[in-house]
Amino acid sequence: MAVCENLNIDDFKTWVICPGDIFYQTKAGKNIHLHAPGDLINHSFFSKYLPYKDQLYIEMLVDRSLIAEGKAYLEDWIKKENILEQRRAALEFLNWVHSKYWKNAEKACLLDLSMVFFESFFKSHSLQELLKDTNIEYFKRSLAASAIGSVLSICLGYFNPTVVMDFYNIVYLLDVKIHESFSSFKIWESFESDRINGPLNYDLSEKEKKIIADHVGEIDFNNDHFDNIKNLQLLNLLNKHHETINGKGFPFALTENELSDLECVLIFSNNLISIVNHSFNENDGREFFKNILNYNDRDLGRTLGRRISKISVNVFKNFDEVA
């Protein structure tokens, strides 16, 4: 159970992602909720509360010792240059994920795993600045989806840390053209409606429809947001994230057999997490990967597909046998 404690202002000033629920308590004793776990912190907005530090409290959700464990595995993997050493380090990290997010661990918070990847892999700082004032909900959703997709890509045998790091950052960039050109909550509501119910005729203006249609297509490889992507061919994933494996997505209406493994992982992780109002909770990571790999909703295309699911399940079950 989370414990409420005074917010350490010196620590807070170093945070990018909020590690718990932050409250401001008025003199009348009313708690005003300022930040939720996983929020991208807007320090400029928060500055007006800093003079009242004795009235600021946090219910910490993350476990810093657990995050340090996971980061140690990733950072060791990043240093490896030999292919066999990369494979070994990647599997050691998966074994750690298995112990925390496949088994019925005593404590397993998805935000901890998300923070492990964020603090080790995140490089899309220009997008971070863009979203800080426009769409922190999208950033929080990407924080989770990118970590989930990265774990599954390792399960599929992507043992080169640079490739997985690029994949991780591309998840944040999927709808970058929309963020750059227009800020309409109705667009995100339409995406969320499609995610939950499948493609519908959502009530959008012609301008909004055009923005959606134009945000997949020709890729501007000179976009500043792509500066830290080393494997530029992976940017082609940007055109596939609204596909579904049942052929009901857009813009190409591709089926499972027409999509690569990495494209299927991207589509799955992108559709798994709510686009608006996603929340991290205590123990939301318990048996997480076991549950999502058994999840099957082919009508909505929210499944990895039988072959990829089987490979991923077998990887985690192999760790069961070793244990």
More confidently predicted of 125 and 32? 32
What's the rounded mean pLDDT across residues 103-123?
91
pLDDT score at 300: 47
Q: Are residues 160 and 19 in the same domain?
A: no
Closest of 177, 140, 173 to residue 273, by C-alpha: 140
Domain that holds residue 31: 4-60
pLDDT score at 308: 82
More confidently predicted of 193 and 149? 149
Check pLDDT > 90 for residue 183.
Answer: no
More confidently predicted of 206 and 10? 10
Is the bond preceding 19 in cis, omega lying within 30 degrees of 0? no
pLDDT score at 2: 63
What's the rounded mean pLDDT across residues 91-109?
90
| Average model confidence (pLDDT) across the chain | 86
More confidently predicted of 191 and 120? 120
More confidently predicted of 192 and 75? 75
Q: Are residues 98 and 234 in the same domain?
A: yes
**Cα atoms found within 13 Å of the Cα of residue 239, Cβ hemisphere only:** 15
Q: Are residues 86 and 217 in the same domain?
A: yes
Q: Are residues 55 and 69 in the same domain?
A: no
Closest of 168, 128, 188, 179 to residue 265, by C-alpha: 168
Q: Are residues 169 and 201 in the same domain?
A: yes
What's the rounded mean pLDDT across residues 93-101?
95
How many other CB atoms are found less than 10 A from the CB of residue 275?
24
Q: What percent of the chain has pLDDT over 70?
A: 92
Closest of 45, 57, 171 to residue 117, by C-alpha: 171
Q: Are residues 26 and 111 in the same domain?
A: no
Instruction: Give 25-49 pLDDT, tens digit per residue.
Output: 998 889 999 999 999 998 988 999 9
